Amino acid sequence: MRFWITVLMVLAVDQLTKWWITANYQVGESHALLGKWLYLTYVQNRGAAFGILPGQSWFFLVAAFLVIAGLIIYNVRYPVEKPMQIWMGLIAAGAAGNFLDRFRLQYVIDFLDLRWWPVFNVADMAVVIGGSLLIIHMLFFMKEG
């Protein structure tokens, strides 16, 4: 259940923030949100994370679909520890958020800009945080057998 709640909540926040940025900003428009720490900058990312491999939408659609399907199947078929349900939910939600953008628009909407890192979005954060916590959990807290 935690898996599905995480997916729905993160996906909703991701899609709502992307809707808001497209309704209020022009592509390339940028404004400081937290002084010099964080800017909102509307970018249409036609590549993968950080803009790598531009123009390969079909590849990323298939890869995201496989990740989402694999995580759903794993959560349905196997007993998954409660923390892992959340970490997997973060990854699935992030993959789904960017999948929806790429499927509908042929690009991903990015808008969080630190100025020293490529522009990203809520879905990207979910994948990175979920993946990092999942790896830490598997390495240090998962019971053998």
d(CA 101, CA 47): 12
Marked catalytic residue, from 14, 101, 113, 124: 124
| 110 is an active site residue | yes
- Is 37:114 a contact under the CB 8 Å cutoff? yes
Alpha-carbon distances of 91 from 2, 27, 53, 55, 81, rounded to whole Å? 13, 27, 21, 23, 16
CB neighbours of residue 72 within 10 Å = 15
DSSP, res 144: P
In 3D, which of 69, 53, 39 has the Cα closest to residue 107? 53
| 14 is an active site residue | no
d(CA 127, CA 101): 15
DSSP, res 37: T
Which residues carry out catalysis?
110, 124
